[in-house]
Amino acid sequence: KWMGTPTFSHDGIICTGESYKKVVKLTFAKGASLKDPARLFNSSLDGNVRRAIDIHEGETVDESAFKALIRQAIALNSSKNSKPSKKAKS
């Protein structure tokens, strides 16, 4: 489906990676639902669901903040895919 675009997933899509002439773009499928205190998201900010990180040549990304986003995205996907427990009827 993604035609050669790197796609990272865990219980659903976490993010995709795309390379352009001047930027590498990491688009988080559910980025709008993630907390981003380090303000890594700098692209696709107007969307209701996705958010992206554009990395320009020579830029560095805060490693711990990036790992935190990945962990949040995994937790979000896992929580959406877990089935709620059924309460016993009394």
Query: In terms of C-beta distances under 8 Å and separation of at least 24 residues, what long-range contacts does 5-12 make, across chains too?
Result: 9/77, 10/73, 10/74, 10/77, 10/78, 11/74, 11/77, 11/78, 11/80, 11/81, 12/77, 12/80, 12/81
Q: How many domains does the chain have?
A: 1
Residue 68 within any structural domain of the chain: yes
**Residue at 29 is within a domain:** yes
Q: Is residue 11 part of a domain?
A: yes
In this predicted model, what pLDDT tens digit does every residue of 3-60 receive, in sequence order?
Answer: 778 899 999 999 999 999 999 999 999 999 999 999 999 998 888 899 999 999 999 9
Q: Which domain holds residue 20?
A: 7-78
Task: Give tens-digit pLDDT for 43-59.
Answer: 988 888 999 999 999 99
Q: Which pTM value belongs to this model?
A: 0.81
Q: Domain for residue 40, yes or no?
A: yes
Does some domain include residue 25? yes
Asked if residue 49 is part of any domain, the answer here is yes
